[in-house]
A and B are shown apart, each in its own frame.
Chain A
Amino acid sequence: DAKTTQPNSMESNEEEPVHLPCNHSTISGTDYIHWYRQLPSQGPEYVIHGLTSNVNNRMASLAIAEDRKSSTLILHRATLRDAAVYYCILRDVTPNAGGTSYGKLTFGQGTILTVHP
């Protein structure tokens, strides 16, 4: 499985933008970049994903480097509720016996984001 490297922790102030980096130098051409986050005492939740182009949704933006060896998750205005562990994941396609493919999630260590009031 292709691996990702993230900083162990980052800090931000409320209402300021946050840029969470992820390095994935061994990414293959068909790997999608997914971001999930896990709030305290909850299961992970999907944030965003992309392949080559930058992506936006209501939660965040994903900026992908032209060579795809790194990406950045952008939270435009951090709130206290955004304090969580953020996981950058390269989604692996694993065929099953029936021939259909799976986007298996292999979580790395993630970045612990602390947001200060």
Chain B
Amino acid sequence: DTEVTQTPKHLVMGMTNKKSLKCEQHMGHRAMYWYKQKAKKPPELMFVYSYEKLSINESVPSRFSPECPNSSLLNLHLHALQPEDSALYLCASSYYGGLHNEQFFGPGTRLTVL
């Protein structure tokens, strides 16, 4: 299994809602990542988890709350989002966080905030 899966594929939420994005991999990878991609822009790193611990937070607003319950799962909890948070949210994983290890990306969750 060389796949990163993300659910849901699409999500529409209001600014007062709480929702969660889910990411799963079964490749034995110990580093997992969240990226945000606005339309026609490159992906931007949000968070990095290594061995289930948060290692990098790229100054992301607290309305985004990541969680790594185990080595295969990564969640992104969303609360009180703004319309400008509408974007494609990509999850990725790699064996470790080092230079050589390619990142495997999921297809993303397309989020619309109304």
Contact = CB atoms under 8 A, between A and B. Distances in A.
Contact of A43 (B55, B56, B106): B106
B39 interface: no
Contacts of A105: 43, 45, 103
Contacts of A106: 45
Interface stretch (B67-75, B76-84, B91-99): B91-99
B28 to A, nearest CB: 17
A43 B45 CA distance: 13
B102 A44 contact: no
A28 interface: no
Interface in B6-58: 31, 42-45, 48, 50, 53, 55-56
Given A43-B92, A46-B104, A96-B56, A101 B97 contact: yes
Given A36-B103, A103-B99, 8 more contacts: A42-B107, A43-B108, A45-B104, A98-B55, A102-B48, A102-B50, A103-B101, A107-B43
Contacts of B45: 104-106
Chief secondary structure at chain A's binding surface: loop
Contacts of B92: 43-44
Interface stretch (A60-68, A70-78, A87-95): A87-95
A96 B55 CA distance: 6
Nearest to A51: B99
Given A44-B90, A109-B42, A102 B98 contact: yes
A31 B76 CA distance: 30
A47 to B, nearest CB: 9
B100 A104 contact: no
B56 A45 contact: no
Contacts of A98: 50, 53, 55
A44 B43 CA distance: 9
Contacts of B43: 44, 105, 107
Nearest to A109: B42
B42 A94 contact: no
A47 B44 CA distance: 19
A100 B105 contact: no
Nearest to A94: B56
A43 B105 contact: yes
